């Protein structure tokens, strides 16, 4: 169990605080977590279990233990690359090609399954609490809380916009400005698919971008020569965290992420004009596309990179317990490094 301690002060005594009030004022536990602690009777005064209505004495040590919890994901051999770890947090460098947790389309082989095996290998037990999410084909910094307090405190910082989240992406084209802000609301696509679109009545979404390096197109190059087209390496600072936000925003300004088969150009658009099968709903009598029956979309960048060139590069936040500023960097993965090397050689 994760333990937290507090020494009762003269000020606490002067205010006549009981242990229940000390839990509320001197610890950063949420109301939900305080209730769980009380139910499990894991509050101790000078090493002995105590009732929370008791008024302590000055100098008493109040110790609170967060009850152990477990997750029930099947342990699987999915690669887990820790970037930072302590009693409260596990921060990993997520490889591309894995969903974060099981879904209807990916019931196994997820990061959650990999963390379950990692716990067995390192003799740990905690409930897997993801603090942020990354798309299946996005790599980079992924945060997990090992207890309810850690997850809740970091998520509070995210809502207060005190967490820095920087991504790096290789995108098509060269933005008109070397840096800028994309402030466009996002909503579900009206066709009912997973796609998001820019809509005035969508959720407010804000992305700051900065161009790091540019690769102009080769003059007179064949349009079919993927490597000869213009590209840029950009850094992106998320001020909101909407689904597919970077991918939609960059496509909106004419610079889709390289390798993005959903928001970029694809090689097989004719196979996506009509679904191979359509479902008729009883309520409306109208046919709805069953997108799971469509063939995989193949990006025009398939010869260059096998997935969207998007990477969660850097995160900084205050540690949920110590308050120390934590900074974590996930180096660019090999596939993005190799694409950049090809672009630099071509430019040279």
Q: Is the dihedral of CA 27, 133, 329, 316 positive or negative?
A: negative
Is the Cβ–Cβ distance between 326 and 154 less than 8 Å?
A: no
CA 146: distance to chain centroid?
16
Could you give the C-alpha distances from 87 to 126, 206, 249, 272, in angstroms and in order? Answer: 10, 33, 37, 48
Nearest-10 Cα torsion for 25, 26, 30, 32? -80
Instruction: Give strand pairing partners of 238.
Output: 207
CA angle 306-311-316, nearest 5°?
Answer: 165
Q: In whole angstroms, give the CA distance from residue 322 to residue 258.
A: 40
Cα–Cα distances (Å) from 26 to 21, 54, 149, 168, in that order, read: 8, 16, 14, 40
C-beta separation of 116 from 128 below 8 A? yes
Residues 6+ apart with CB under 8 A from 82: 90, 91, 92, 93
Question: What tokens were used for 291?
Answer: 């997108």
Is 135 a known active-site residue? Answer: yes
The bridge status of strand 48-49 relative to strand 43-45 is antiparallel
Cα Dmax for the chain: 83
Query: Among the options 12, 88, 135, 335, which is catalytic?
Result: 135
Active site residues: 135
């Amino acid at each position: 169990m994760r333990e937290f301690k507090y020494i009762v002060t003269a000020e606490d005594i002067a205010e006549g605080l009981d242990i229940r009030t000390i839990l509320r004022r001197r610890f950063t536990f949420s109301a939900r977590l305080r209730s769980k602690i009380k139910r499990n009777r894991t509050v101790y005064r000078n090493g002995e279990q105590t009732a929370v209505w008791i008024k302590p004495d000055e100098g008493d040590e109040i110790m609170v233990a967060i009850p152990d919890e477990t997750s029930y994901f099947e342990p699987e051999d999915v690669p887990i690359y820790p970037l930072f770890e302590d009693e409260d947090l596990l921060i990993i460098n997520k490889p591309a090609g894995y969903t974060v947790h099981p879904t209807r389309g990916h019931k196994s082989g997820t990061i959650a399954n990999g963390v379950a095996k990692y716990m067995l290998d390192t003799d740990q037990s905690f409930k897997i609490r993801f603090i942020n999410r990354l798309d299946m084909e996005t790599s980079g910094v992924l945060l997990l809380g090992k207890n309810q307090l850690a997850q809740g405190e970091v998520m509070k910082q995210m809502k207060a916009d005190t967490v820095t989240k920087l991504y790096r992406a290789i995108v098509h084209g060269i933005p008109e400005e070397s840096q800028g802000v994309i402030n466009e609301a996002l909503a579900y696509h009206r066709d009912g698919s997973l796609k998001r679109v820019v809509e005035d009545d969508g959720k407010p979404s804000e992305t700051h971008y900065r161009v790091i390096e540019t690769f102009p197109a080769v003059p007179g190059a064949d349009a079919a020569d993927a490597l000869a087209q213009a590209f840029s390496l950009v850094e992106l600072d998320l001020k909101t965290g909407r689904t597919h936000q970077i991918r939609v925003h960059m496509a909106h300004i004419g610079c889709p992420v390289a390798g993005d088969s959903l928001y970029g150009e694809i090689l097989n658009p004719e196979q996506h004009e009509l679904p191979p099968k359509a479902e008729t709903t009883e309520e409306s009598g109208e046919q709805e596309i069953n997108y799971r029956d469509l063939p995989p979309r193949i990006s025009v960048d398939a010869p260059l990179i096998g997935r969207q060139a998007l990477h969660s590069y850097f995160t900084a936040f205050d540690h949920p317990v110590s308050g120390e500023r934590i900074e974590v960097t996930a180096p660019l993965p090999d596939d993005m490094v190799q694409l950049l090397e090809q672009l630099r050689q071509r430019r040279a």
